[in-house]
Amino acid sequence: MSFLMSLPFRRVRVAAIATALTLPALAFVAWPHVAHAAGVDTETQFVLNTFAFLIWGALVMWMCAGFTMLEAGSVRTKNASMICLKNIGLYSIAGLAFYFIGYNLMYNDVQHVIGTVVWPLYGPSGDEIALLAGDDSALAGVLDNGYSVMSDWFFQMVFVATTASIISGALAERVRMWSFFLFTLILTALLYPVIGAWTWGGGWLAEMGFQDFAGSTIVHSTGGWAALAGALVVGPRLGKFRRDGSARATPPSNVVLVTLGVFVLWFGWFGFNGGSQLALGSALDAVAMSNVLVNTNLAAAAGVITALSLSRLVFGRIDLLVGLNGGLAGLVSITAGPDIVPHAWSVLIGIVGGAICTGGIKLLEIVKIDDVVGAVPVHLFAGIWGTIAVCIAAGGNFVTQLIGILSIGAFVFSLSWVVWFAIEKTIGVRVSEATERLGQDTAELGMESYPEFVLMPEPADDD
C-alpha cells in the first residue's frame, strides 16, 4: 500500500488493479471508481487498461477536430483558415511542450506544488524496453505497473491540448498567430502542469481532498480563466460594440459546421469522462464507466433543452447557438463528478449548467467582453458550477472545493494576464486594423477558406 500512495494521485486508481487482486472491497473504501480484479488474469488487466488509455485518449484528441469545426464555423469566412491553422498548431505545441517539460512538472516527484524535470526525458520503463528487446523475464515487471507507461502519458497529453483549444475560439479574429502560439507554449509547458501537480499529481489540493474527476476546473476552468485574461488584454473585435454600448451581432459563417463541431465534442467527451475512470480491468470498472457515460450524456441533453428554453427570455428568440453552448456547458458541468450513481443528479447539474451558460453569454455582452464562441461562459462559469456540484452529488467538501476553485482561478488568471500583457508590450497581441478588416486568411495567409465567394473588407464603424 505504501507503494500505491507514492504514485501520482490520478494514477493510483490504475495501479490498484495489479495489486488489489484479492481485496474487492478496497475500491469502495478508497475511491468509488478504483479498479479491482474480478476473475481476469494480470496480463489481461494490463492489456485492457492500456487499451482504455489509448482508445479514450484518441477520442479526446478528436475533440480538437470538434473545437476546430465549432470555431471555424463561428467566425466570419475571412478568418476560418487562420482558425484551422491555430488549432492544429496548438495541438502540436501542446504535445511537444507536455513531453519536454509539462508532464514531468505535473507528475514527477511532486512536492506539494510542482514536480521536477528529469533527464533522460520521460519514456517507457526499463522493464518495457527489455521486453521489447526480447527479454521475457521482464514481463512481470511490466505487468506490475498495471498499464503501459506511455499509454498513460498519451492520455494525459490530450487533456492539456483541450485546455489550449478553449482559448483559441474566445480570441478569434483579432489575435496574432505567433503571439497566440507563444501563450500556448507557456500554458501547456508551465501553467497547466502546475495546476495538474496540485491536483491529479498528488499536490497540496489533492492532499486536502479536492475532487475533480475529469477536469471541470483543472482543464476547463483553467482554459476559461486564461481565455478571459486574454480577452481583457486583446480587447473586442472592431465594431463588436456600438458607441451606445450595445453589442452588434456577428453571425457565424457556417452554422452547420458549428453544429457538427458540437456533436464531435459531445462524442469525444465520452472519452474525456469515461477514460478518466483510468482502468478497464474489472467488472467494477465496466459498470462505473457505463454510469459515467450515461451521466455525461444526460447532463449534455439537459443543458441543450435548458439553454434553448431560456434563449427566448434572455435574447428574445430561440437561439441555436445558445442551445449548442448549453449542451457544452452541461458536459463541462458534469465533468467534475460524472461517476455519481443517481442519474437524476446529472440532469439537474446539466440544467443548472445550461442556465449559467446562457446568462453568462448575456453578461459578457453587458460588460463588453468579446468572446467569439462563448468559451468563458461554457468552460469557466459552468466549470466552477460543476466543481461545486460535486459537493451536492458526489460527496465533495464545500470548503475544499471552494479553496480549489479560488486558488486555481487566482493563479491562472493572474499569471495569464501577466503573460498576455508582456506579449502585448513586446511583440504585440493584436493584428493591425487593416488586417482585421480584410481578414487574417487573406492578409496573413494569402488564402481564402471559401474562394468562390467575393471577399469584401468591412467598412469602418461609425455607430
Q: Residue 463 has what pLDDT?
A: 55
Q: Residue 462 has what pLDDT?
A: 54
> CB-based contacts of 58: which residues, under 8 Å, 6+ apart?
271
Q: What count of other Cβ atoms lies within 10 Å of the Cβ of residue 89?
A: 17
Number of domains comprising the chain: 1
Identify whether 363 is part of a domain.
yes
Does the pTM surpass 0.75? The reply is yes
Identify whether 20 is part of a domain.
no
Q: Residue 27 has what pLDDT?
A: 34
The residue among 292, 358, 287 whose CA lies nearest residue 329 is 358
The residue among 446, 437, 80, 450 whose CA lies nearest residue 237 is 437
CATH number at residue 347: 1.10.3430.10
Q: Residue 36 has what pLDDT?
A: 44
First CA to last CA distance, the chain = 68
Cα–Cα distance for residue pair 307/299, rounded to 1 Å? 12
Q: Which structural domain range is residue 233 located in?
A: 42-120+148-433
Q: Residue 19 has what pLDDT?
A: 36
Cell triple for 442: 487573406
Q: Residue 450 has what pLDDT?
A: 80
- For residue 338, what are the CA distances in angstroms to 115, 265, 283, 457? 28, 16, 18, 47
> CB-based contacts of 249: which residues, under 8 Å, 6+ apart?
none
Identify whether 380 is part of a domain.
yes
Identify whether 272 is part of a domain.
yes
Q: Residue 22 has what pLDDT?
A: 30
Cell triple for 292: 459515467
Question: Which stretches of the chain score pLDDT less than 70?
Answer: 1-39, 454-463
- 348-378 core/surface letters (b: 16 or more CB in 10 A; e: else): bbbbbbbbbbbebbeebbeeebbbbbbbbbb
Q: Residue 18 has what pLDDT?
A: 36
Burial of 261 (0-12, 13-18, 19+ CB in 10 A): buried
Identify whether 253 is part of a domain.
yes
Identify whether 461 is part of a domain.
no
Q: Residue 24 has what pLDDT?
A: 34
Is the separation of the CB atoms in 231 and 413 below 8 Å?
A: no
Q: Residue 206 has what pLDDT?
A: 95
Identify whether 28 is part of a domain.
no
Q: Residue 373 has what pLDDT?
A: 95
Is the separation of the CB atoms in 11 and 278 below 8 Å?
A: yes
322-339 per-position pLDDT tens digit: 999 999 999 999 999 999
Identify whether 59 is part of a domain.
yes
> SS3 for 285-311, per residue?
HHHHHHHHHHHHHHHHHHHHHHHHHHH
